[in-house]
Amino acid sequence: MIILGIDPGLRTTGFGVIEKHGSKLRYIASGTIKTGLEGALPPRLKIILDGVREVVATYGPQCAAIEKVFVNVNPQSTLLLGQARGAAISALVGFDLDVAEYSPTQIKQSVVGTGKAAKPQVQDMVARLLKLPGLPGSDAADALGVAICHAHSHDTLALLNVLSPQKGALRMKNGRLV
């Protein structure tokens, strides 16, 4: 299964593509979609939308995952981040991909083992888990972390659904099993 992870941002949106075979993860690609620091909001959102579309068209993932918006001290920053995230999600659902959402804490917990991990720790563990020759950039590492988190969560959810008396009865909602 090919998984696309997205770390949304208005200036820089990270993407990471991995392949999962059983319990093994394989790095495929990662990078960033840059909109720049200036300019009107609509054209910057279009850059994100088009960039995510290009990544999906190039790598053909079967599913996608994106980091949830966290509330900043500055509400304006939170709103802008939410719009960037919306552009990325729109591109993903435009390809009929299932999109999972994970909080920064869930991602760090899945990749590093603690929800309070620093960015360099995430970069290091992503490089180790995917056997990369060097550290990926922070935005690409975060996106790869989202994909790794989904790879781990997808298996657990699938296993729980197999064990459940009502097939398909369990699912993730707002980061919780319901």
Active site residues: 7, 67, 139
| HSE-up of residue 136 (Cα within 13 Å, Cβ side) | 28
Instruction: Name the token pair of 134.
Output: 């060097």
**Cβ contact 134:141 at 8 Å:** no
Q: Would you list the DSSP string of the chain?
A: -EEEEEE--SSEEEEEEEEEETTEEEEEEEEEEE--S-S-HHHHHHHHHHHHHHHHHHH--SEEEEEPPPPPSSHHHHHHHHHHHHHHHHHHHHTT-EEEEE-HHHHHHHHTSSTT--HHHHHHHHHHHTT-SSPPPHHHHHHHHHHHHHHHHHHHHHHHHHHSSSTT---EETTEE-
